[in-house]
A and B are shown apart, each in its own frame.
Chain A
Amino acid sequence: MNRRRFIQVSAVAPALMLGSCRNQVVPGSIIGAAHRAGHLLRDGKTSAAPSKTAKTDVLILGGGVAGLAAARQLARRGITDFLVLELESQSGGNSQGGRNSVSAYPWGAHYVTLPGPDCHEVRELFEELGLIAGHDAAGRPIYDELALCADPQERLFIHGQWQEGIAPSAGLTSDEQRQFREFREEMSRWSETKGADGRPAFTIPVDRSSRDPTILELDQLTMAAWMDAKGWTCEPLRWQVDYSCRDDFGGGEDEVSAWAGIHYFASRRPDAANADHDTVLTWPEGNAWLAERLAESAKGRIRNHALVLNVTEQSSGVQVDVMNTTDGHGGEIMRFVCRAVVCAMPRFIAQRIISNLKPLDQPPVYSPWVVANLALDELPPSPGELPAWDNVVYGGPSLGYVNATHQNLTAVPRETVITHYEALCGSPPARLREWMLTQTHAQWCDRIFSALAAPHPDLAAHVQNIDVWLWGHGMVRPTPGFISGTTRTVMQQHQPPVFFAHSDMSGVSLFEEAFTRGTQAADAAIRFLG
């Protein structure tokens, strides 16, 4: 006899019913991820002859954060003869955003953690953008508080109530409390540990972490296996660890390496003057705010709807063919000849496009993601703590939702947009990608409603529109062996005149990684051009 279900049903049934009367026809659509154009490439349907040729010094392929960071760096170093070629209708890649009449909202990346001292490129950017407004007497950065996530930052729906914070804390047995305590202690130990080479065991950017083999050993087993070996097996802790892996890497604790799993908890050592160490920077449109600022340094030099078809080295320079996809499928092809190329698209695409690029022995794994933006007439009330920026439901596949109007300063926001995240994992990614293309808009809506049914049984009654974005290759996944292995070393080798910048060669997909890679690739290209 399931008491819990009874309680849920009688408390929520009305709303459910109201909801299901309406959810038949939730307006909205599946948008984004120009996979149709991308599939042109995959299926090799792109072999027409170019109708025009143009010359430029540097071409940046891909206008995500890495590509835009490269553009900014070129502009800062006085190189203005460059173009950014971007497949989508707007730049930003995984960090793009949208907007409706109520608010801007993210389509992918939505926050950046406070950068520590190892992340000096990003710190410099933040100073330039005014996000770091100055330093206190101790030299700690003072952040723009309008960009710091407003309190309350996170809440978790568990035992029928919202609690503050994401780590389950209510109703733990004393043994569970012990496991949580030991786990936290272990993570702060790792956070302070340095390797034999004197570098921090875990830091961001990933490749500034220690290469001490005794630490890299952690990359050989899964996070789940490591947790088992430690004897930390209680469900609430394992849920939190699994949630964190899915949130940052798009893979479960049994799919990512222990090195990566620990990195999530032990790599952040910020030193802000005016924020707790776990505060994040965020904006209604998420990291699209940053992407837009970056794009300004490439103003007038970004070509959208530009599908890069192939890159070949010629004696005259590098030759790049690009198809215009403004009308949604194959269009006019244009040929660029340039002196250097910054390749800021994911490796699996670069592999198809760049001639003479040796295939990787073990290509990286990419996690598929589904992101949905829900326009609501209000965020329906539910028991416990009040709405936070990040709202997570215990158990289940969903990663919860962030509230786009949370950063609003207005006293009484009612209408809002929430962004719901799910990383598809647990099966081979290729199979999940196929499956995801078979799902209809209505099916996605149902999936979201059921993921959020426990706290918001009446959600459907408040929904005005749902748009869904499918990220087939959302982020690179740090599977066991990937961080410490040779694949990444090969991916990171520039092949002048081609320089690589995408965040996938970091092994974890973060703004900081993409930005640093882009900046470094541009620097390398500048050195090459002399």
Chain B
Amino acid sequence: MSEEAPPQPAHSSFARPWLLLLSVFAIATCGLVYELIAGTLASYLLGDSVTQFSTIIGVYLFAMGVGSWLSRFIRGDLIAFFIRVEFLIALIGGCSAAVLFLLFGWAASFRIPLYGIVFLIGVQVGTEIPLLLRILEGRFAFKDLVSNVFSFDYVGALLASLLFPLVLVPHLGLVRSAFLFGLINAAVGILALVMLKDEIQRPRGLWITGGVVTAVLLAGILQGDAITRWGEYAAFSDPVIFAKSTPYQRIVITKNRDDLRLFLNSNLQFSSRDEYRYHEALVHPGLSSLPDARRVLILGGGDGLAAREVLRYPRIKSITLVDLDPAMTRLFSSQEMLRAQNNGSLTSPKLHIENADAFTWLAAKREPFDFVIIDFPDPSNFSLGKLYTTSFYQRLAQSMSPAAALVVQSTSPYVARKSFWCVDATLRSCGFQTRPYHALVPSFGEWGYILASKEAITTQLALPDGLRFVNAEVVDQMFRFPPDMARVDTDINRLNNQALVRYFDDEWAEYLH
């Protein structure tokens, strides 16, 4: 390549262009590693890796576009600018995993720093290569230059993709991997500083910056483990006592004195302080009004808490619990602390567990059930949205006895008013009569349920003993809706429109901002 280079009288100090090309290689590797780290971290913390990765790749690519566009406006001392960009990437990219881990505690707004950091890194990575090209211009034949930069860029990116799953994550963990690649970015900056010192007017400031950045990153590498541990604690505000990723979700349990909390994909499922409110409200208004009910079906609810409430009725002969995730039901049937929470309901001889997808399980007509409790996660994605559609309820109706009722947890009628009433409208379109109600569960807020049956049911409560929340007066209140949660017209949720997921997305997004 040097033979084809034009004469370079002015830049003789730039004697080793291959060193700069090597930096291209390092830069490409680093940029990609940061992107992969953010994606992995987001899937790890938020679950649903497909969505997380697609969004992050999207933000990153967009930001790179912005960066390369911005680079056109950079004038003056290109080399100093390039070095500054390197140090900045080193700092932001290097600390990204640690910072995100620590910030996760603010679960609700976590996406803002997440996409913010990905965007910042993207912009800078998008700036650095065009900048480098302009610096190298005139030092190589241009065509040669471009192809060299791209081939090094390409190889670097390849390296990243191989290193990442094989070496970095297993051996270093996400937090330390990020710091390590930050150091590589810093090294590129320092290298440029050494090689091009004659062309930089005031290198001192840069040296100081480089030193500080390097020191921070080194400290990070040394403290990586502590940060990770600290991060998981901070993430869930309480100490994490159990964490496991299953093929279906990430299960995390935290405990702080007497407060035990379950998170699925970082969404709070219950807090032992007030879950009795949620589960009593879920089960009793319906079941206590069905004196003839003998066979109960629970869909979702692998924590066994709804089953605990059902078992308060001696007349119930059998409970079938269908939960997708064997890891959940195994955990809640075997772990002592959790068994104490659900009174060992999952090992009751009356209860029978099916680890299956509820929709497909119901394809076969099952024994007719007298009461059905639907305790699925909120309809936050298309797969979950299917479990709230006309087709699902029609299928379910086939496995219900004529006088049976069902109850659906239906998200918050206060926060997601349309979503709540959409579930109601959907059930009614399937020929159910509905009796929507709500209860206050402090750790969730105002929460909604819909009781539905083919024949009208009157709530004549014959409540079991030992309840802490539900009594006749409270139930009476539950069925009254204040104006700010009153019925609104909505679409019917169908497989072919996923209306509910769209409402739910909009409403919760608005609430959280």
User: A residues within 8 Å of B by Cβ?
Assistant: 1, 3, 5-7, 9-18, 145-146, 148-153, 160-162, 274-276, 279, 379, 381-384, 386-387, 409-412, 414
Contacts and interface: CB of A to CB of B under 8 A. Distances in A.
A453 to B, nearest CB: 14
Given A18-B161, A409-B386, A10 B497 contact: no
B153 A14 contact: no
Contacts of B436: none
B50 A386 contact: yes
Give 6 nearest A-B pairs by CB, closest first: A14-B161, A383-B58, A13-B157, A409-B359, A381-B53, A148-B496
A161 B58 contact: yes
Contacts of A9: 150, 153-154, 157
B57 A383 contact: yes
A284 to B, nearest CB: 13
Contacts of A381: 49-51, 53-54, 57
Contacts of A152: 382, 498
B496 A3 contact: no
A10 B494 contact: no
A438 to B, nearest CB: 31
Contacts of A162: 54
25 contacts: A3-B65, A3-B68, A6-B150, A9-B153, A10-B129, A10-B154, A11-B35, A13-B157, A13-B161, A14-B160, A17-B161, A148-B494, A150-B382, A150-B496, A151-B498, A153-B496, A160-B65, A275-B494, A381-B49, A381-B50, A381-B51, A386-B51, A387-B50, A409-B357, A411-B248
Contacts of A12: 157
The B contact surface, by secondary structure, is: helix
A1 B69 CA distance: 12
Contacts of A409: 357, 359-360, 363, 386, 391
Nearest to B499: A151
Given A3-B65, A11-B64, 20 more contacts: A6-B150, A6-B153, A7-B64, A9-B154, A10-B32, A10-B153, A11-B157, A13-B32, A14-B32, A14-B161, A17-B158, A145-B389, A145-B496, A150-B382, A151-B496, A381-B54, A383-B58, A409-B359, A411-B324, A411-B383
Interface string B378-404: 000011101101110000000000000
Contact of B153 (A13, A17, A149): A13
Given A9-B157, A150-B496, A160 B61 contact: yes
A13 B153 CA distance: 9
Interface bracket on B: 35 or more
Contacts of A13: 28, 32, 153-154, 157-158, 161
A146 B384 contact: no
Contacts of B55: 383
A17 B324 CA distance: 36
Contacts of B278: none
B357 A410 contact: yes
Interface in B40-82: 49-51, 53-55, 57-58, 60-62, 64-65, 68-69
A96 to B, nearest CB: 25
Given A14-B157, A148-B496, A382 B68 contact: no
Given A279-B496, A411-B324, A1 B54 contact: no
Contacts of B154: 9-10, 13, 17
A279 B497 CA distance: 9
Nearest to A383: B58
Contacts of A387: 50
A5 B32 CA distance: 16
A148 B57 contact: no
Interface of B: 28, 31-32, 35, 49-51, 53-55, 57-58, 60-62, 64-65, 68-69, 125-126, 129-130, 133, 146, 150, 153-154, 157-158, 160-162, 164, 247-248, 324, 357, 359-360, 363, 382-384, 386-387, 389-391, 492, 494-498
Contacts of B62: 160-161
Q: Which of A381, A382, A409 has the most CB of B within 10 A?
A: A409
A409 B324 CA distance: 13
A282 B370 CA distance: 34
A324 B277 CA distance: 73
A10 B390 contact: no
Contacts of B35: 11
A162 B53 CA distance: 13
Contacts of A5: 150
Q: Which of B54, B162, B360, B383 has the most CB of A within 10 A?
A: B54
B54 A382 contact: yes
Given A146-B495, A149-B496, A412-B248, A11 B61 contact: yes
A15 B133 contact: no
Q: Which of A10, A145, A379 has the most CB of B within 10 A?
A: A10
A412 B61 contact: no
A412 to B, nearest CB: 6
A181 B406 CA distance: 47
Contacts of A17: 154, 157-158, 161-162
B419 to A, nearest CB: 16
B61 A383 contact: yes
B111 to A, nearest CB: 16
A17 B160 CA distance: 11
Contacts of B64: 7, 10-11
A148 B248 contact: no
A290 B440 CA distance: 50
Contacts of B164: 14
Nearest to A388: B382
A161 B56 CA distance: 11
B56 to A, nearest CB: 8
B54 A383 contact: yes
B57 A382 contact: yes
Contact of B382 (A145, A384, A386, A410): A386
Contacts of A153: 496
A145 B494 contact: yes
Contacts of A6: 68, 129, 150, 153
Contacts of B58: 160-161, 383-384
A7 B492 CA distance: 42
A12 B130 CA distance: 18
B162 A14 contact: yes
Contacts of A150: 382, 386, 495-496, 498
Nearest to B27: A10
A411 B248 CA distance: 9
B54 A410 contact: no
Contacts of A383: 54-55, 57-58, 61
A146 B359 CA distance: 12
Contacts of B359: 409-411
Contact of B28 (A3, A10, A145, A384): A10
Nearest to B64: A7
Nearest to A275: B496
A242 to B, nearest CB: 26
Contacts of B68: 3, 6-7
A1 B147 CA distance: 10
Given A18-B161, A145-B496, A10 B31 contact: yes
A1 B68 CA distance: 11
Contacts of B126: 7
Contacts of A279: 496
A151 B55 CA distance: 19
